[in-house]
Structure 1
Amino acid sequence: MSVEPKLVRFKQNVLSKYQIYNSIFMTLPFDTITKTGVLLPLFHETCEKGFKNGDDPTTIVDTFFKKYQARRSKQSQINLLFRFIQYIERQVVLFDAIEDAAFPIVNNMEGIGTLRNLKETANSDNRLEELRNYLEEFKVRIVLTAHPTQFYPGSVLGIITDLSAAIKENNLIDINNLFGQLGKTPFFKREKPTPYDEAVSLVWYLENVFYKSFSEIYNYIQQNIYDDRKRHNEIINIGFWPGGDRDGNPFVKPDTTIKVARKLKQSILKKYYEDLKDLRRKLTFRGVEDRIVKLETIMYQYSLNPDAEDMISARDLVKELLSIRDHIVEEHQSLYYSEINMVINRIHLFGYYFASLDIRQDSRIHDAVFNTVIDHLISTGTSSFPDNYHDLSEAEQIEILSKADDDIPDLDVFEDEMVVNTLKTIRCIKDIQNSNGERGANRYIISNNQTALNVMQLFAMLKIAGFKDELTVDVVPLFETITDLENAPAVMEQLYTNPAYKAHLAKRGNKQTIMLGFSDGTKDGGYLMANWGIFKAKELLTAMSRKYDITAIFFDGRGGPPARGGGKTHQFYSSLGPTIEDKEVQITIQGQTISSNFGTLDSSRYNLEQLISSGLFNRFSKNRIPMSDEDREVMNDLAETSYQTYKDFKNHPMFIPYLERMSTLKYYAKTNIGSRPSKRSKSDKLIFSDLRAIPFVGSWSQLKQNVPGFFGVGTALKKYEDNNEFDKVEQLYANSKFFKTLLENSMMSLTKSFFDLTKYMADDPEFGDFWKIIFEEYKTSKRLLLKVTGYKGLMENEPAGKASIDVRESIVLPLLTIQQYALKRVQELSREENLDTEQLAIFEKIVTRSLFGNINASRNSA
């Protein structure tokens, strides 16, 4: 392991290599336009100089064409801009591949936060037994979602993987061929993917990354921490949303869910078959060979037809492998013991389901569906629901729902498609449990959950539609807005004091999973309040759950950038302290966060280990002291001030028009990266509550303004500076790792902001004042974050991370310039009396195409 500082390792193994390979890359003739690779560096230089001189993007583009390409026709200039976009997208891929290849060199794979470090620390503190005991109940669950923050088609992800391997080996022939392939491979999808397409692309990660990294981690724990080869708590497991997440996605139907579950089962059976095939080559001994051949044959047939019955259960498969392992120990000197053990462990980790398929739907949909169901049941005259059910109070309705035991034998009595699909989905869960095992699908998440009634409606519906005898499904409320987070403890107490629901929890191990959504929390309440609101909700929910002998399991809906709960996630979990239940860490992983944090074996293993150790560090930390009353008061006040500032900003009359007309918001729907519509309602008018968090945060990111990651922070800190009480903020920063992590993640958002790009908007007669509000808050936030941290520059404590961001921001600078140039032309053309629709379509296409590279370049936002 290199002893050079991380920044030096980054410069040597990433930056230098990028400069070398990029110079080769720029000489490749990808298209009919000559000299694109020669002209792009000149355009890049024009952008840098132009912004330094205070020029706007239009002036920069015009200057470039006058200076270097004066003879080009207007059409030829447009063609060159499209070629620049094409090249820059591929430069981002090249940088991704080089960073992936250098990952184990730049990051210390045995340093702080890794399992080896955890074990050595526990050993030196004489706490190894305590660590073992804790690992018996601790779990990390990463849940893969199809939320569209990733613009690479599968073919490009494959090239990144191959290119990383070639770069690791310095194989110039392969690198050259892959550059050529990269130039010819389209980066955008002509059609939207189906939910099943999204599932298939994520199954690639299950098969090629997680299958190996999970088992390597589990094996390490088994052999080095327990040192006993026995089966233990699996510690890491994986959830899956594509095909199960219906929230706002009308294209996810019951048959989609069944098809995805079948794909997951088939994929894991195929992996077991491949492992058994490898074992067959090794276990060529008498008394063993025939048995392993038989298992391999069975698994081959089963992988071809996962619906076949009476093949072999997961339990029987393990039983036979354990018997073979024992025979090897007794008769064949334990030859290939580890290889057999690896397969046994993998079956323990993944069963016949590979990943647990979560179902999710909005409470408002459930409410409408359930009211239709109740009306139907009442109309039969044999229902347990009284005729005046809809007129009863919420408490009375909950009482009736907790005892509901009606039946709906034929779901086709309903005409409404949403009602039929919702009820059939419940039947699907049962079918999946029968085929893939209970863990194949055993959670139903209610997004936008506001009341106990929302939970009890689903509780009753699950029983009525498919689980009358025994409910083997966990009902998971998702609290997202600031108000919902504040109400969450009272909602849960209502449920815990309901005898029927409490009895259900008892059968589920007295555990209640509660999901908390960072994305919509930030959109609703701003950066500080969303994070503090969730922190306080977790504290109160922990206390409330413990009061009723329930273990709260918190499931965080996190996105990639800090504005959506991302940033340095493991630092966040290690900072929570003793007042929050910490037996499990559960988080959503989506889009470019999957490929950047878990896309290779090295990064997957490293980041999974960081998550495991962050939860354990929180428990093992010697200074697990709750936040003092004085610090809490300051934190609360900062959050409240920030919240009010953000709310005033959000209510500004120019807020929605600015996003609609000055940002790339409306172009997200044209990118075909996800199956889900980009907003919730079909209305032409843009309403804030309809906005999805991803295009909302993404649009600010494309503007290089990153508002959701800092807005309100500066004003909140300035209040203390103006009152000569800044020492209180400094004290909070020194005392609270939670606050420290919050500010450091916000610094990442500020680092990725570049207001010179949109400075021209300051002179806009309509939006100038609004732009200035954002810029002033940015300057205040940056100045005061540096003041409280004592840093001279943003992200001073993470020089390698800062260097990576700087390179990526530099690569896309021409792309951002082109995008702003095109947006300005769209605005100008839209104002003309004789609208040139052909020209408008061209510039709108430039805006849409330039979205891709900008988003992909932000992979280290996670």
Structure 2
Amino acid sequence: MTHDKDAPLREDIRLLGRLLGDTVRDQQGAAAFELIERIRQNSVRFHRDDDSAARRELEDLLDALSREQTIQVVRAFSYFSHLANIAEDQHHIRRSRAHLIAGSAPREGSLAHAIEAVLGSGTADSAALMAFFDSALVSPVLTAHPTEVQRKSILNCETVIARLLDERDRMLLTPDEAEATLEALRRAVLTLWQTRVLRTAKLSVIDEITNGLSYFDTTFLRELPRLYAALEDRLAAASPGLGGTELAPFLQVGSWIGGDRDGNPFVTAEVLDKALAMQATVVLEYYLNELHSLGSQLSMSQGLVSASDALQALAERSPDTSAHRRDEPYRRAVSGVYARLAATYRELLGTAPPRHAVASAEPYADAAALVADLDTVHHSLVANGAATLSRGRLRQLRRAAKVFGFHLAPIDLRQNSDVHERVIAELLEIACPGTDYRAQDEAGRCALLLEELATARPLASPHVKYSEESEGELAIFRSARRAHLRYGTSAIQNCIISKTDDVSDLLELAVLLKEAGLLRPLENALDVNIVPLFETIDDLENAAGVMERLFSLPIYRALLGARKHTQEVMLGYSDSNKDGGFLTSGWALYKAESELVTTFARHGVRLRLFHGRGGSVGRGGGPSYQAILAQPDGAVQGQIRLTEQGEVIGAKYGNPEVGRRNLEVLVAATLETSLRPAGDAPTPPAFVAAMQALSDAACTAYRGLVYETEGFERYFWESTVISEIAALNIGSRPASRKKSTAIEDLRAIPWVFSWSQCRVMLPGWYGFGSAVQAFLAQHPEDGLALLQRMAREWSFFATLLSNMDMVLAKSDLAIASRYADLVKDVSLREAVFGRIRAEHQSTVQVLLQITGQTELLEGNPLLKRSIRNRFPYLDPLNHVQVELLRRHREHGEDVRIRNGIHISINGIAAGLRNSG
């Protein structure tokens, strides 16, 4: 008899669905429950059996809903999407544990698999492994974007439900315990039902900072040290020579929240100061709590255990003079560390910590001093036969202090190059009237900027009143300088320039950094990385040329010496996709990376790529493991950063175990990619030529629809929820960069999010069908065979197809047609949606031809199962959302209808999971 591995998942979904149904019946009445249940049954029947009668009955039921019934249906199905996600995450954890318990071979994406792959390939030994970790950097970076639709209160409810499911799964409960757990689940589901999904006020940047910090409390502060410990133990087991090795803090979590000013006027120097203080509060309180617990654990008595001279000295310096602890040197030492850290808290934050120390003490000068004291405790325990004790809470705390310091997470600063240009122009004009910086060509601008960088003389004067914009920008960099002095240089490490298109964009930032003392030309000192962000198709094509010209400047090369001759480059997935479509964006990014690898190697500069990926495939999303492995040779040189955006943060890191697994995947993929054997041969020219031909044709098709079809902009705004997303309180920045409805001005995030909501998913596939059809027409004899070979032998192309497969499986043109009906101009509706439908059909057809599948996701049964489980609950939400949009747009403002739309947006986003 075959064991049904998915049976526990279905059981959990049924259980949570039953509890939700019971809650609806109790709270809304039997009639509401019966209506929702009829809708659910018909939707499931239609999806399971393709029952046309079920579909007709479903549509009749949904069309006949009153306003009050509509809100109840939207809420019920939205909450079910959330509950299904919890059950699915729990099933992933369950299956991972089952594999480990059974002693199965390590799975792809695990550290065990990566280490085996590297050592087994023969291209790396233990020395190479340690060299990798000594200079590696793996950094997911949290960003705040207007697709994070979850309230923190909802996430808290979901955390409770996930914990209770986990207890049911792991523990053998007595009947009374099982009943108590079930009752607790019932209470948690009721609390979820009674908790408001929507925000009543627009998020502020401080709200976004608070939300981001919750993931450090939940996941990062605890799971990241455990991951380091597991990796060190795994390395020791794989190679005896690596036993006892402590890795450098190569895995770090970064943040943009509070430092990303591009298009967000609410991020000011004051907000940056607040963000840094909030982060320090979280990490210092974590350390203090851990030290309090550690002190209670290290109760060893002097007469029963030895202590090193350094430990004895640490205990003697402690202000803890209690007679009850006179013979407990470890406890007194920890008490002293606590007292010093409490003083550090007071000095950095200006307030006393929640739990006071036994007495006053001197604050730590920096986090390294704290680490040194913790190391003293560790070394004494090891030297005196108590190494086992040092491997518990102390090991986690020592690791946390090394990774998180007093700053918790490095905050990146980001601003648009246009802003830097205006500020520099004003500073130069006031210092030297008639300069007219903005009228200069590129060579003239660079000459002026290089002249400024050659002198330590400041450009800005404290006696001059500059424009509000310039004052704000200068204040940000001065705040960054203060942060370095207060929290350490790790607090702010990167300054990113959006819309970089030439060398002057980088030199402008360099001059502004000089004004704040973050760049000191006489010392060739540069305290932060200057990071260009190449976003559009044209910018990606010019990226290597810009860096070539930058590296030819002696002043800049000298400054790079202060950054270990490492240059970071950020690549934008979102805007390049909106600019040229999915296929062309992916190819432009791949070519840009390859060209950058060559350019950097020629100049002897280490390349670190920062991937600006979103959650959806249309914004560079998709499985991280495959994405990293599909990078060109040399593009991952032991260092990689990538953004974690929107609702993906909650999906990846809201559950601690899921979060640790996602962190492990990033490390494993970076290790494998960096140390994999060099390719036997470059990518075959036939592959490159075919890809270029596909890209050209796909771009023509995409731009022909999006930018060259008269009325397309109107079609988009009428057929999607973009207007309602723009009004939703889900982010601190506006949906468009300017006050217009132009596609060019729309941020890529709401662009992709809107297409996801209406189940078209256009940014993740449009243009591919046309491109392949054109290619096959030009190569009728061998074209298909070539594309099939590319899918088998080229990881870049295979990953591209896999991501498209996922997007197409989540799309539904029948549902999309209902959104198209919202377009008032019939001829425009038929023209545009007709093209979308035809392209969708063509894309699915050619994808199946190339992959050899008979249906979508045939090669990914796990995702196929996930979609099968959740889509019967998504379809009613889409149908009701269309009806609510129609009522809202025809009958004007009605708060309940508007709230219903916003709840449906929340539910659909939860059901699709990676939609923004």
Alignment TM-score, normalising by the size of structure 2: 0.87
Cα distance, 1:103 vs structure 2: 2.3
Selected match of 1:668 from 719, 725, 747: 725
- Equivalent residue for 1:317? 370
Alignment partners' CA distance in 2, 1:629 and 1:540:
16
Alignment partners' CA distance in 1, 2:687 and 2:250:
34
Whether the 8 Å CA contact 1:140–1:586 is kept in 2: the answer is: yes
- Equivalent residue for 1:512? 567
The residue correspondences of 1:87-236 to structure 2 (distance < 5 A) are 87-107=76-96, 108=99, 110-125=106-121, 127-129=124-126, 130-170=128-168, 171-226=181-236, 227-236=242-251
The amino acid across from 1:754 in the alignment is: D
Q: Is 1:753 equivalent to 2:811 in the alignment? A: yes
Alignment partners' CA distance in 1, 2:215 and 2:2:
32
- Equivalent residue for 1:20? 15
Once the two structures are superposed, what CA deviation does each residue of 1:410-432 show, in whole Å capped at 9, x if it has no partner? 55733522111111001011011
The amino acid across from 1:403 in the alignment is: E
Whether the 8 Å CA contact 1:480–1:516 is kept in 2: the answer is: yes
Alignment partners' CA distance in 1, 2:2 and 2:248:
38
Aligned CA distance change for structure 1 residues 861 and 103 (closer, same or farther; 3 Å): farther
Query: Secondary structure in 1 aligned to 2:402?
Result: helix
Cα distance, 1:504 vs structure 2: 0.8
The amino acid across from 1:267 in the alignment is: V
Whether the 8 Å CA contact 1:577–1:618 is kept in 2: the answer is: no
Whether the 8 Å CA contact 2:143–2:257 is kept in 1: the answer is: yes
The amino acid across from 2:397 in the alignment is: V
Whether the 8 Å CA contact 2:42–2:54 is kept in 1: the answer is: no
Cα distance, 1:623 vs structure 2: 6.9
Once the two structures are superposed, what CA deviation does each residue of 1:315-369 show, in whole Å capped at 9, x if it has no partner? 2111112222222233453351113232222211111111100000111111112
The amino acid across from 2:651 in the alignment is: S
Whether the 8 Å CA contact 1:30–1:180 is kept in 2: the answer is: no
Cα distance, 1:845 vs structure 2: 4.3
Selected match of 1:35 from 23, 27, 31: 31
- Equivalent residue for 1:424? 475
The amino acid across from 1:451 in the alignment is: D
Whether the 8 Å CA contact 2:114–2:669 is kept in 1: the answer is: no
Once the two structures are superposed, what CA deviation does each residue of 1:761-795 show, in whole Å capped at 9, x if it has no partner? 47933311210100111111111101100111111
Query: Secondary structure in 1 aligned to 2:607?
Result: strand
Percent of paired sites with the same residue = 25
- Equivalent residue for 1:784? 846
Cα distance, 1:850 vs structure 2: 1.5
The amino acid across from 1:321 in the alignment is: L
The amino acid across from 2:145 in the alignment is: H
Q: Is 1:264 equivalent to 2:279 in the alignment? A: yes
The residue correspondences of 1:190-589 to structure 2 (distance < 5 A) are 190-226=200-236, 227-285=242-300, 286-303=328-345, 306-307=348-349, 311-312=363-364, 313-331=366-384, 333-339=386-392, 340-379=394-433, 387=435, 389-404=437-452, 405=455, 406-407=457-458, 413-467=464-518, 469=520, 470-589=525-644
Deviates more, 1:787-796 or 1:326-335: 326-335
Aligned CA distance change for structure 1 residues 56 and 810 (closer, same or farther; 3 Å): closer
Query: Secondary structure in 2 aligned to 1:553?
Result: strand
Which structure 1 segments of 5+ residues have no match?
70-76, 380-385, 830-835
- Equivalent residue for 2:907? 853
Cα distance, 1:275 vs structure 2: 1.6
Query: Secondary structure in 2 aligned to 1:144?
Result: strand
Alignment partners' CA distance in 2, 1:331 and 1:212:
27
Whether the 8 Å CA contact 2:42–2:55 is kept in 1: the answer is: no
Whether the 8 Å CA contact 1:145–1:241 is kept in 2: the answer is: yes
Query: Secondary structure in 1 aligned to 2:451?
Result: coil
Q: Is 1:44 equivalent to 2:59 in the alignment? A: no
- Equivalent residue for 1:605? 660
Alignment partners' CA distance in 2, 1:145 and 1:350:
18
CA RMSD of aligned residues (A): 2.5
Cα distance, 1:607 vs structure 2: 1.6
Aligned CA distance change for structure 1 residues 527 and 774 (closer, same or farther; 3 Å): same
Query: Secondary structure in 2 aligned to 1:463?
Result: helix
Aligned CA distance change for structure 1 residues 678 and 146 (closer, same or farther; 3 Å): same
Cα distance, 1:581 vs structure 2: 4.2
Alignment partners' CA distance in 2, 1:213 and 1:188:
30
Whether the 8 Å CA contact 1:61–1:818 is kept in 2: the answer is: no
Query: Secondary structure in 2 aligned to 1:141?
Result: strand
Whether the 8 Å CA contact 2:526–2:563 is kept in 1: the answer is: no
Alignment partners' CA distance in 2, 1:310 and 1:202:
32
Whether the 8 Å CA contact 1:542–1:581 is kept in 2: the answer is: no
Alignment partners' CA distance in 2, 1:745 and 1:538:
20
Cα distance, 1:805 vs structure 2: 2.3
Once the two structures are superposed, what CA deviation does each residue of 1:452-496 show, in whole Å capped at 9, x if it has no partner? 111111111110233353430111110000000011111111111
Whether the 8 Å CA contact 1:566–1:861 is kept in 2: the answer is: no
Q: Is 1:633 equivalent to 2:689 in the alignment? A: yes
Whether the 8 Å CA contact 1:714–1:780 is kept in 2: the answer is: yes
Aligned CA distance change for structure 1 residues 788 and 412 (closer, same or farther; 3 Å): farther
Query: Secondary structure in 2 aligned to 1:652?
Result: coil
Whether the 8 Å CA contact 1:267–1:303 is kept in 2: the answer is: no
Once the two structures are superposed, what CA deviation does each residue of 1:711-752 show, in whole Å capped at 9, x if it has no partner? 011111112333412112112112201100001101111011
The residue correspondences of 1:665-744 to structure 2 (distance < 5 A) are 665-682=722-739, 685-723=740-778, 724=780, 725-744=783-802
Whether the 8 Å CA contact 1:369–1:419 is kept in 2: the answer is: yes
Once the two structures are superposed, what CA deviation does each residue of 1:123-144 show, in whole Å capped at 9, x if it has no partner? 5455441333323222211000
Alignment partners' CA distance in 2, 1:281 and 1:709:
54
Alignment partners' CA distance in 1, 2:459 and 2:749:
38
The amino acid across from 2:389 in the alignment is: Y
Once the two structures are superposed, what CA deviation does each residue of 1:174-218 show, in whole Å capped at 9, x if it has no partner? 100001101110001011111111011111111220112211121
The residue correspondences of 1:796-807 to structure 2 (distance < 5 A) are 796-807=858-869
Whether the 8 Å CA contact 1:54–1:756 is kept in 2: the answer is: no
Aligned CA distance change for structure 1 residues 495 and 266 (closer, same or farther; 3 Å): same
Alignment partners' CA distance in 2, 1:646 and 1:414:
48
The amino acid across from 1:445 in the alignment is: I
The amino acid across from 2:531 in the alignment is: V
The amino acid across from 1:493 in the alignment is: E
Whether the 8 Å CA contact 1:748–1:795 is kept in 2: the answer is: yes
The amino acid across from 1:282 in the alignment is: Q
The amino acid across from 2:291 in the alignment is: L
Query: Secondary structure in 1 aligned to 2:155?
Result: helix
Aligned CA distance change for structure 1 residues 329 and 632 (closer, same or farther; 3 Å): same
Whether the 8 Å CA contact 2:531–2:568 is kept in 1: the answer is: yes
Whether the 8 Å CA contact 1:481–1:521 is kept in 2: the answer is: yes
Aligned CA distance change for structure 1 residues 641 and 56 (closer, same or farther; 3 Å): farther
Whether the 8 Å CA contact 1:90–1:183 is kept in 2: the answer is: yes
Deviates more, 1:294-303 or 1:655-664: 294-303
Cα distance, 1:849 vs structure 2: 3.0
Alignment partners' CA distance in 1, 2:868 and 2:462:
57
Tell me the matched-pair count.
832
